[in-house]
A = this chain, B = another copy of it.
Amino acid sequence: MTMSRARKSSPSGPEADAALKTDATTSIVGYRLRRAQLSVFQKFIAVFEELKLRPADYSVLVLIDDNPGRKQTEIAEVLGIKRANFVTLVHGLEQRGLVERIPSLEDKRANALHLTTAGQNFLRLAKSRHRALEDEIVTQLGGTEARALLLALLDRLI
């Protein structure tokens, strides 16, 4: 099953080196998942770079919009972000005028997160870009059924 142990360049001329055997590597589910995820993230980053929105920023804005008034800890935990790292992230969004940190009335330790009006408008724009991107992905996958199938399969891995 192994290839010949020694390998010298072919004497038949300066042709390109033969392709590597990658069968075993590419059969690894985790490896293929990572490659696909990186590919999709790269597209996301390319589409969103003029908005200066990284994937994590976008998911935070979406989540705050759907759940206004929640604490930093709550939003961070749902997204799997450590609260210590979430501080910098939400601070950036606040400095851009997209998010407000309003001291909670019920718990003086906590900040209630809200989108500003500018943040809501910005999110509307970002969502339209995202819709277009998802449409591209659906086309790549071969239709909405394929997308639903993929999401269902991914769900089983979590």
- How near does chain B come to A98, taking the closest CB pair, in angstroms? 16
A9-33 at interface with B (beta carbon < 8 Å): 9, 17, 20-25, 27-33
Find chain B residues with CB under 8 A from A31 CB: 55, 59
Check B24–A30 contact: CB distance below 8 A. Answer: no
Asked if B156 and A29 make an inter-chain contact with CB atoms under 8 angstroms apart, the answer reads no
Total count of chain A residues near the partner, CB < 8 A: 66
- Residue A81 CB within 8 A of the other chain: no
Q: In the bound complex, what is the Cα–Cα distance between A62 and B29 (angstroms)?
A: 14
> A55-B31, A66-B24 are known contacts. Are A17 and B74 too (CB-CB below 8 A)?
yes
A24 contact set on B, CB distance < 8 A: 62-63, 66
Of residues 98 through 149 on chain A, the ones whose CB sits less than 8 Å from some CB of chain B are 105-106, 112, 114, 130, 134, 137, 140-142, 146-147, 149
